[in-house]
Amino acid sequence: MKEQAAGVEVIMVGAGTSGLATAACLSLQSIPYVILERENCYASIWKKYSYDRLRLHLAKQFCQLPHLPFPSSYPMFVSRAQFIEHLDHYVSHFNIGPSIRYQRSVESASYDEATNMWNVKASNLLSPGREIEEYYSGRFLVVASGETTNPFTPDIRGLCSFCSSATGTGEVIHSTQYKNGKPYGGKNVLVVGSGNSGMEIALDLANHAAKTSLVVRSPVHVLSREMVYLGVVLFKYVPFGWVDTLMVMLSRLVYGDLSKYGIPKPREGPFFMKAAYGKYPVIDAGTCEKIKSGQIQVINY
């Protein structure tokens, strides 16, 4: 079944924070747009796929969306609940909601040079078992689908038998399914991955008395929120490489030699690695202290 949607000036793919920010800017210029979002809500990473204790790792002035700053009553590092509250206000303030088409999965996009229009095909997921194709056309196309949109669980050897009811009662979840450590108190839990999500989930598990182990495979930089804030400020005045050098020195001063605990340091600086490879430094929220005290066991392989 096919449906032809009315043409608009701008077609946006994704109703995450980038899509909402773009929508606000368009609304202020009275430019008509439509947002195609495959989930059933906007900002789904924050509303559906993030854990309870999550906070912004950067200070709020570096994370606020355009034309509507965070309330002055919010702390420097905004919590997940506060961020969602602000996004709800943002959508209402700029009247973005009516322009969002939920549960639309974009299948293809092509540019017609004869008409100078973008043509987008999307599947309407609102009617399971009855495929509906929708077509949109607009002068401009904005792709705001994000860099962490598709959860991935690798096919690790032994994973199937670990989960099999015939051999055990093991449970495997992706970090997007994790909310808090309450269900895991007293249980053995292995966290695979030492990025920001893995490190903070391990901390949350340890705080809920889970017997927590953390797999660290690659070298990582560990910084505090305050260090990152200082680094971002210094970028205005100091060369990039000097900031990286300072961050490495501060990390060593605050955390000591973490390689003794199974967390090796990369050769390149933390901000260089973010710019060159898209690899973020770990922002420590208390995990290192738990590792040093033995409450979190580090496993290298």
| 112-121 tens-digit pLDDT | 999 999 999 9
Inform me whether the pLDDT recorded for 24 exceeds 60.
yes
User: Is 149 part of a structural domain of the chain?
Assistant: no
User: Could you say which of 110, 143, 176 is where a domain stops?
Assistant: 143
User: Is 242 part of a structural domain of the chain?
Assistant: yes
Q: Which of 89, 48, 95, 92 is nearest to 70 (CA)?
A: 89
pLDDT score recorded for residue 165: 56
User: Could you say which of 143, 174, 191 is where a domain stops?
Assistant: 143
Inform me whether the pLDDT recorded for 33 exceeds 70.
yes
Tokens for 40, please give them.
Answer: 């059933």
Tokens for 276, please give them.
Answer: 């060159």
User: Is 215 part of a structural domain of the chain?
Assistant: yes
My answer on whether 286 and 183 are in the same domain is: yes
Q: What is the DSSP letter of 55?
A: B
User: Could you say which of 75, 110, 143 is where a domain stops?
Assistant: 143
Q: List Cα–Cα distances, 230 to 9, 68, 163, 227, 238, in angstroms.
A: 41, 24, 45, 5, 11
Burial of 73 (0-12, 13-18, 19+ CB in 10 A): exposed
What DSSP letter does each residue of 179-215 carry, written as one string? --SGGGTTSEEEEE--SHHHHHHHHHHHHTT-EEEEE
Q: ∠ CA(217), CA(220), CA(59), 5° rounding?
A: 135
My answer on whether 14 and 121 are in the same domain is: yes
My answer on whether 115 and 42 are in the same domain is: yes
User: Is 152 part of a structural domain of the chain?
Assistant: no
My answer on whether 106 and 206 are in the same domain is: no
CA distance 266 to 223: 13
My answer on whether 177 and 288 are in the same domain is: yes
Q: Find the length of the chain.
A: 301
User: Is 202 part of a structural domain of the chain?
Assistant: yes
What DSSP letter does each residue of 116-168 carry, written as one string? TEEEEEEEETTSTTS-EEEEEEEEEEEE---SS-S------TTHHHHH-TTT-
CA distance 287 to 293: 10
Q: Which of 225, 234, 229, 221 is nearest to 270 (CA)?
A: 221
Antiparallel, parallel or unpaired: β 132-143 and 117-124: antiparallel
Which strand (E) or helix (H) includes residue 100?
strand 100-102
Q: What is the mean pLDDT of residues 146-163?
A: 79
My answer on whether 200 and 131 are in the same domain is: no
My answer on whether 210 and 280 are in the same domain is: yes
CA distance 41 to 44: 6
My answer on whether 34 and 106 are in the same domain is: yes
Confidence of residue 161 (pLDDT cuts 50, 70, 90): confident
User: Is 237 part of a structural domain of the chain?
Assistant: yes
Q: What is the mean pLDDT of residues 138-163?
A: 84
My answer on whether 8 and 66 are in the same domain is: yes
Q: Which of 301, 297, 286 is nearest to 207 (CA)?
A: 286
Pick the residue with more confidence: 170 or 206? 206
Q: What is the DSSP letter of 170?
A: -
Across the chain, what does the average pLDDT equal? Answer: 92
My answer on whether 221 and 252 are in the same domain is: yes
User: Is 292 part of a structural domain of the chain?
Assistant: yes
Inform me whether the pLDDT recorded for 167 exceeds 70.
no
Domain of 244, in residue numbers: 159-300
Of 17-21, 107-111, 149-153, 213-217, least confident by mean pLDDT is 149-153
Give the SS3 label for residue 239: coil
Backbone angles phi, psi at 287, to 5 degrees: -65, -40
User: Is 148 part of a structural domain of the chain?
Assistant: no
Inform me whether the pLDDT recorded for 291 exceeds 80.
yes
Q: How many domains does the chain have?
A: 2
My answer on whether 111 and 165 are in the same domain is: no
Q: Which of 75, 18, 111, 113 is nearest to 225 (CA)?
A: 75
CATH number of the domain that residue 98 is part of:
3.50.50.60
This prediction's pTM: 0.88
- Enumerate the β-bridge partners of residue 214: 191, 298
My answer on whether 65 and 132 are in the same domain is: yes
